[in-house]
Structure 1
Amino acid sequence: MKDVTTLVGVGGAMGVIVVANVMEGGNPASLMQVPAMLLVWGATILVSAAGGTMSDAKGVVGSLKKAFLGEAHTSADVVPVVVSLADKARKEGLLALEDSLKDIDDPFLVKGVTMAVDGTDPEEMRDILEGEVAAKRAEVKHSAKFFSDAGAYAPTIGIIGTVMGLVHVLENLAEPDKLGHLIAAAFIATLWGVLSANVVWLPIGNRLKRLGELEATRMEVTIEGVLAIQAGANPRIIAQKLTSLLPAHEQEHAEAA
């Protein structure tokens, strides 16, 4: 099931800002200054991409989709699956697990169990699987970096837009009737810079980091489970061991399962 927390949060925050603007007697349409928005959003995206590689830039769309619609897999979900496999392995042997892998949609768990069935040395298997965890953490770090950088650049770029607008104001001091509109337009860039950073870019970056933490933790729990299965540990002991590795708020869910 997709987790739309970020979609609801960002959309709701935008809605609150619009409502607050209307309640103060403002007109939301007056904030939609195309030049200011083009400067802030366009320049922010470009300079954020400039700090990475072309490969990083190509992955931004996928990361954006994951942030808004990605599934938040918890470690508690994998515990009953591992315990079930452990129970079957204890009764029928490791080779019997090959048939069960067809019904598992967790590639990392499938890989670990397959290695166990193939008789891979436990230490070598741990090294290989922990290497994948490290690679996952690095991947998440890179995907979140673009949005964290955008959150840092956007307010400053907004200030650049405001300075440009104020220069335009000074050029028209001879026409006082235009100054009010020009000054208001100048500050729109700062508004969009601060707003985009705190309502869009930084929340997305934090969301990707959180999803990455959940995935990495799930993988670490999986490693301990697979090694315990290979060692022939009692399923009840495996359940207790894996549950003890979970955050407190997930332990009840795992125990119930």
Structure 2
Amino acid sequence: MDFLSIVGLVVAIGSIVLGQLLEGGHLASILQPTAFLIVIGGTLGAAMLQYPLPVFLRSIRMLPWVVRPPLLDPDGAIRDIVQYSEMARRNGLLALESAIDDIDDPFLRRGLQLLVDGADPAKIRATMEHEIQAVEHHDSQAARVLESAGGYAPTVGILGAVLGLIHVMENLADPSKLGAGIAVAFVATIYGVGSANLFFLPVANKMKNIVHERAKLQELIVDGLVAIAEGENPRMIEGRLQGYFAH
């Protein structure tokens, strides 16, 4: 669980709400269902128009990553690879076949299967790096859906403000309706800028960072498996792989 994401969202929204209350405003004045519908509905509609359905759905499925990111354990991966290297050094590559069924990570399992099947190091690297690039591209596209939404939201907020002002102009003769129209106009702008900078853009950047870190971990795995195929010393393999996540 990534508690920092939850805390960050609470702090961001809470600061705005608290500031509104400290200035003597009312919470109800910034809760406008009409403005919310215009901004969020218009933004999501624009994002749907830009991307194909599989990419959009993938973006929705990746949203939980913000609070429950995929488990990335580089230290565990290094320990496993060093262990496989020692097994291969003592008993040959075929000895690794018994370990394949116990591996939970499908990427590592496929790589180890290539190693056991006797694929040459260049073939292992080419095959697995192609998979890394394909998955990274697919997931990065999904993250860009929210990034695009962050670009659309402020503009749609301005559109909502204009619609609110049109409503005001249409009811100049009835002062009782002016307040609601002006409220929608200003609150729509708040929703557009706020949703972009407090949700869409931060979430998109967090997703892209997770995708990058996972790709780097998979590159570590590839490097380790290729080193095993080339018969390198386990201690040398461990030292080199630790450099991937030196921080």
* Residues 176-234 of structure 1 deviation map (CA, whole Å, 9 limit, x = unaligned): 46544532331100000000001111111101100100111011111110011112211
Post-superposition offset of 1:248: 3.3
1:97 counterpart letter in structure 2: L
2:201 maps to which residue? 202
1:255 maps to which residue? none
Structure 1 gaps of 5+ residues are: 250-257
TM-score (norm 1): 0.89
CA–CA distance in structure 1, aligned partners of residues 61 and 37 of structure 2: 23
2:246 maps to which residue? 248
CA contact (8 A) 2:34 2:184 kept: no
Name the stretch that deviates more: 221-230 or 8-17: 8-17
CA contact (8 A) 1:7 1:69 kept: no
1:72–1:205 distance in 2 versus 1, CA, 3 Å: farther
2:92 maps to which residue? 93
2:115 maps to which residue? 116
Post-superposition offset of 1:20: 2.1
CA contact (8 A) 1:145 1:205 kept: yes
SS of the residue corresponding to residue 101 of structure 2 reads helix
1:232 maps to which residue? 231
Post-superposition offset of 1:138: 0.6
CA–CA distance in structure 2, aligned partners of residues 225 and 211 of structure 1: 21
> 1:55-94 maps to which residues of 2 (within 5 A)?
55-94=54-93
CA contact (8 A) 1:74 1:215 kept: no
Name the stretch that deviates more: 142-151 or 162-171: 162-171
CA–CA distance in structure 2, aligned partners of residues 84 and 66 of structure 1: 30
TM-score (norm 2): 0.93
Name the stretch that deviates more: 28-37 or 186-195: 28-37
> 1:56-205 maps to which residues of 2 (within 5 A)?
56-176=55-175, 178-205=177-204
SS of the residue corresponding to residue 232 of structure 1 reads coil
CA–CA distance in structure 1, aligned partners of residues 165 and 100 of structure 2: 65
CA–CA distance in structure 1, aligned partners of residues 155 and 222 of structure 2: 44
CA–CA distance in structure 1, aligned partners of residues 140 and 246 of structure 2: 25
CA contact (8 A) 1:75 1:217 kept: no
CA–CA distance in structure 2, aligned partners of residues 6 and 77 of structure 1: 25
2:5 counterpart letter in structure 1: T
* Residues 107-161 of structure 1 deviation map (CA, whole Å, 9 limit, x = unaligned): 1111111100110122111111010111122112211111000000000000000
CA contact (8 A) 2:56 2:142 kept: no
1:81–1:73 distance in 2 versus 1, CA, 3 Å: same
- 1:27 to 2:47 alignment: no
1:156–1:109 distance in 2 versus 1, CA, 3 Å: same
CA contact (8 A) 1:101 1:110 kept: yes
**Pairwise CA RMSD:** 1.8
- 1:36 to 2:35 alignment: yes
Q: Work out the number of aligned pairs and report it.
A: 247
CA contact (8 A) 2:151 2:196 kept: yes
Could you tell me the percent identity over the aligned residues?
Answer: 39
